Amino acid sequence: MWLRGINFPQLTDTTNLFFVTRRAAGKTNGLLLGGIIAGVAVLTLAGAWFLGGFSDSFRGIDKIDAGSYAESARPFQGGTYQFEGAIDSDLGFDQGKGRLISFRVSSSKGQIFLPALIPSFLKHINPQKGQAYKVKVVGRDDGLLVVEKLEKL
């Protein structure tokens, strides 16, 4: 029988109709299973992205309020923060402790200078005046910010 250019087979035996239906149901289940697997994969990748599982190691770290830090370092003790700033000057070096650097950071109160200690185990870093960095720091109990990670901007 021809209907708008499509040839439909004539099925007279109900046994053949049963097998045709079973094959079609099998294909649908395969497509459904493939869709579920693809959906789970997409959700897994999206979850890893939002939880910081990809490249940005600064994701989820609070930005430091440089103006508040300049007024009092006490609220920042023990916390982990990030900021972007340029190196203003080298304030000193101690072989056992590291290099104390002054970073120039923009804030709502204008330019603020944040002191940060680059520990001696990060000796591969050679900071130069004017270089801009994204910095991850931890506030020590004495109020000093200690660098954990630097990325050049």
Predicted pLDDT at 17: 52
CA distance 46 to 68: 35
Please report the pLDDT score of residue 110 as a whole number. Answer: 86
46 and 66 together in one domain: no
> pLDDT tens digit string along 111-141?
999 999 999 888 787 888 999 999 999 999 8
Cα(20)–Cα(49) distance, integer angstroms: 44
Angle in degrees, CA 124, 63, 69, rounded to 5? 90
**pLDDT attached to residue 40:** 92
Does the residue 35 lie in any domain?
Answer: yes
In a domain? residue 56: no
Model pTM above 0.85: no
Distance from C-alpha of 149 to C-alpha of 125, rounded to nearest angstrom: 10
Mean pLDDT (the chain) is: 81
Residues 77 and 8 in one domain: no
Q: Is residue 39 part of a domain?
A: yes
* Partners of 87 in beta bridges: 103
User: What's the mean pLDDT in 7-36?
Assistant: 61
Residue 1 pLDDT greater than 50, yes or no: no
Please tell me which residue, 95 or 47, carries the higher pLDDT value. Answer: 95
Provide the residue range defining the domain that includes 140.
62-152
Q: How far is CA 16 from the centre of its chain?
A: 57
**Does residue 79 share a domain with residue 21?**
no
For residues 26 and 42, give the distance between their C-alpha atoms in angstroms, rounded to a whole number. Answer: 25
Pairing of strands 98-107, 6-7: unpaired
* Domain presence at residue 130: yes
CATH code at 138? 2.40.50.140
Percent of the chain past pLDDT 90, that is, above it, reads: 27
Pull the structure tokens for residue 111: 């330019």
- Taking only the tens place, the pLDDT of each residue in 26-47 is 456 777 888 888 999 998 888 7
